[in-house]
Amino acid sequence: MKISRPSPALIVSIVALVVACAGTATAASVLIKNSSQIATGAVTSSDVKNGSLIGADLKNRTVTGSKIAANTIGADKLAPVVRNTLQGQGLTGTEAVRKAGPENVAAGGATITRITQLQPGTYFLAAKTTITGVAGDLGLGELLRPNKTASAECTLEVGGDVDKARTVVASPGAETPQTVNLQMTRTIGAPTDAILTCSVTNVPWRASDSSIVALKLQGSTRVDTAG
């Protein structure tokens, strides 16, 4: 006679009946006591009550970025010290602006603007100004003299490090305002001024729309190249 295999439902019923009849000692012996009794993947997210797991329930380094869904951890979920550190990683900027001036500077140099006492740190600095040569009411014959070509040289200086830019702002018969741009990275260990100066040859001049911007960075790498 062929004996048929009992169904899974029947097996579960028999086990439940045996446990019920045998009492709590037998029940305890079939309860899950450690993770080795659980097949891999048997417990899923839907089996875990929301908010029931805390950090102490997780093994160190078991939860990595690939296991965290995007946008599921907000800043409010982080410890205050971690949140403050991460939120402090952004750039902070300092800017000095001078919309007009100096005006009618005699041929030669002058300070355009400055940021006073940048605090220690690493910075990306950018500066710009528009230089206009002012020949006044000179006649055409005077403008055509060879030495009436006027060149501007501007310098951004921070703690002894400089960046320079040059351009022609006036030539015989023409005055051409030019915008000059400069930039650098600089690490300073003590409060230091960032200074923008310009010098123009042969003719009076004026500056306008000038600024220096200093962005504080976490760090920078500078490579001096020869070719």
In tens, the pLDDT along 2-24 reads 566 666 666 666 666 665 666 55
Which three-class secondary structure state does DSSP give residue 95? Answer: strand
pLDDT band per the 50, 70, 90 thresholds, residue 69: low
Angle made by CA atoms 49, 55, 58, in degrees to the nearest 5: 80
pLDDT band per the 50, 70, 90 thresholds, residue 171: confident
Cis ω for the linkage preceding 146 (within 30 of 0) = no
Angle made by CA atoms 70, 74, 76, in degrees to the nearest 5: 165
Tokens of 7: 């169904």
Query: CB–CB of 179/139 below 8 Å?
Result: no
Side chain identity, residue 218 = Q
Question: Tell me, what's the pLDDT at 210?
Answer: 97
Number of C-beta neighbours around residue 121 at 10 A? 15
The Cα 215–Cα 91 span in angstroms is: 6
Tokens of 18: 């045996």
What share of the chain has pLDDT > 70, as a percent? 60
Query: CB–CB of 110/210 below 8 Å?
Result: no
CATH node for 92-217: 2.60.120.660
C-alpha distances out from residue 203 to 144, 164, 166, 178, Å: 13, 20, 15, 14
Question: Tell me, what's the pLDDT at 136?
Answer: 58
pLDDT band per the 50, 70, 90 thresholds, residue 213: very high
Residue with token string 């600024």: 211
What share of the chain has pLDDT > 90, as a percent? 38
The Cα 203–Cα 195 span in angstroms is: 23
Question: Tell me, what's the pLDDT at 126?
Answer: 96
* Stretch among 136-145, 174-183, 196-205 having the lowest mean pLDDT: 136-145
pLDDT at 137 over 60: no
* Stretch among 75-84, 102-111, 188-197 having the lowest mean pLDDT: 75-84
Average pLDDT, the chain: 78
Side chain identity, residue 175 = E
